Amino acid sequence: MKKFDFYIFSVVTILAFASCKTTRTVTNKTKTTSKTTVKKTTNKPTFIDGIEVTPGTTVTSKHNTNNSKSKVEVKKTNPDPNVKNWNIEKANWLQLKYAIMLDATVERLTNIPLLEKMEEWWGTKYCLGGNTKGCIDCSGFTLMMMQSVYNILLPRTAQQQYDQSERIDVDELKEGDLVFFGSSKRHITHVGIYVTNNKFFNASTSSGVIINDLNETYWKNKFIGGGRVVK
């Protein structure tokens, strides 16, 4: 019996030892499998320094495929070469308003007294021979505007204003020039003040003091020409 007991004890000991070794092996594999390698990625945004964008400029980027760096150019795009150092933040509210109405850039409307006078008379009714804010006709309006804004005295009628002015082509028109309409050079029936972008201020028979366009069919068919009056 003693030999049998010793045999049983030996077998149990061997099995226990084998079991512990297997457990350690499985545990080591589990630990090895559970290890995770974490890589830190730093995708920081890249900013282009030293570039200042101001009104009247555009920024264009030229990329070189052989180089990771980009070249940036700032080009001056002032629409009016006669206007220097323009700052739209300093624009008068009338400049902003009439730029929309005239379909023009704000920096072209530099004559504030002209805009103020137009705003003052806007919508005044038309009446033949009138020269007050109660009602006014076309030549009375141009007479008043030219005298108030440009200190130029005109004769009273549209025909007289045409006869006194210097003839200029339509592509030479500038702010303050006169635009004349009628059936002929000897029969001028309407006059207005050119502003910009084919637009002119005038006292029309249908709408009173308003802005019109030389390209409108009605005015285009009656347009005789432009005139310039100097002091």
For this structure, is 63 an active site residue? no
Q: Does any domain span residue 119?
A: yes
Beta bridge partners of 199: 196, 213
Q: Does any domain span residue 54?
A: no
How far apart are the C-alpha atoms of 224 and 191, rounded to whole Å? 10
Q: Does any domain span residue 67?
A: no
Catalytic residue among 63, 82, 138, 198: 138
Q: Does any domain span residue 133?
A: yes
Nearest CA to 53 out of 70, 71, 77, 69 is that of 77
The string of pLDDT tens digits covering residues 76-132 is 334 454 555 556 667 889 999 999 999 999 999 999 999 999 999 999 999 999 999
Q: Does any domain span residue 193?
A: yes
65 to each of 55, 68, 70, 216, 225, how far by Cα in Å? Answer: 30, 7, 9, 51, 56
pTM (whole model) above 0.95: no
12 to each of 1, 27, 165, how far by Cα in Å? Answer: 17, 22, 129
Q: Does any domain span residue 144?
A: yes
Beta bridge partners of 132: 135
What's the confidence (pLDDT) of residue 120? 97
Catalytic residue among 66, 82, 92, 190: 190
Question: What are the start-end ranges of the E strands in 14-144?
Answer: 57-63, 70-76, 131-132, 135-136
Q: What is the CATH number of the domain that holds 193?
A: 3.90.1720.10
Token pair in block for residue 171:
């592509």
How far apart are the C-alpha atoms of 148 and 110, rounded to whole Å? 16
- Using an 8 Å Cβ cutoff, are 78 and 98 in contact? no
What's the confidence (pLDDT) of residue 91? 82
Domain ranges, residue 209: 112-228
Catalytic residue among 43, 67, 202, 221: 202
Q: Does any domain span residue 125?
A: yes
Beta bridge partners of 135: 132
94-116 burial: b if 16+ Cβ within 10 Å, else e = ebeebbeebebbbbbbebeebbe
Phi-psi region of 172 (alpha: psi -120 to 50; beta: other; left: phi over 0): alpha
How far apart are the C-alpha atoms of 96 and 92, rounded to whole Å? 7
What's the confidence (pLDDT) of residue 90? 73
Beta bridge partners of 194: 200
For this structure, is 187 an active site residue? no
Q: Does any domain span residue 146?
A: yes
List per-residue pLDDT tens for the chain, 231 residues long: 445 455 555 544 554 444 444 444 444 444 444 444 444 444 444 333 333 333 433 333 333 333 333 333 333 334 454 555 556 667 889 999 999 999 999 999 999 999 999 999 999 999 999 999 999 999 999 999 999 999 999 999 999 999 999 999 999 999 999 999 999 999 999 999 999 999 999 999 999 999 999 999 999 999 999 999 987
Q: Please give the tally of structural domains in the chain.
A: 1
Token pair in block for residue 71:
């070249």
What's the confidence (pLDDT) of residue 231? 74
**Cα–Cα–Cα angle for 153, 155, 158, nearest 5°?**
125
